[in-house]
Structure 1
């Protein structure tokens, strides 16, 4: 069964949104790196890898369904921050935006009874739940411990230990 044109277009847009996410998170990593918070920088550098993996998973799905992916220009993230909470709140807002976008893809696939694409997107929906929870937890941790230098140091050390584990995207 050929991939529906609208579903294919939405998935292609999602690839570009995932690539923008990587670009955005790289700017967050730079912010924290410049502040000397290497752990927070590491957290977002790992996020960059995850977002690239998400984009590559969708790209592979399009290619496997005889759809040529189109890489669009990636906009420059236009954010600046006055405090260490800023990127964390921006990340949660962005993840919520991505979740809505994936839901839109899912609903388009559902409308044309594209069960294969729905199954793929089930993985992305679960992943977004994890991404939003992580973002909320980071905000909570910063609220609880970030105003204390020792607490901020401990959080930074915790985030420094994060490593990239390539996702197994169900297809």
Structure 2
């Protein structure tokens, strides 16, 4: 399973990493950045998560020039919103799963979890702007701008509402 790597059981993990009792073994021990990066090359309980989140990142990087017909684009801003919306959830989740066992404790773990959630928020908020713009394209300009602005305000309000209280992170 880990060719000389010492993998741990569920009961051996710190409390903040014991959230799935159905996975009983194969946990990476707490380690530094180098250890987390090295875990890309052996099997453990997060291997599939890391690989399935890393593969889309590689695909987007390799194919992004061909994903959008850049010579026909009216709005580069909306095109970049689309690319951000496509890439950010994968990037945030890849980083979270790869580094979740950093030896720097629960506070860093929750920051990584926030990064994962931020990627999802970017996908749902910024990534949706092209679809909202397309669906309101035939409306009068003022109406389109009001709808897009209203959506942006709601997205920022949603981010504010799900952002945890900073007090928790000072205590953790």
> Which bracket does the TM-score occupy, shorter chain normalised?
0.3 to 0.5
Structure exhibiting the larger radius of gyration computed from Cα positions: 2
**Larger RCO, structure (CA 8 Å, separation 6 or more):** 1
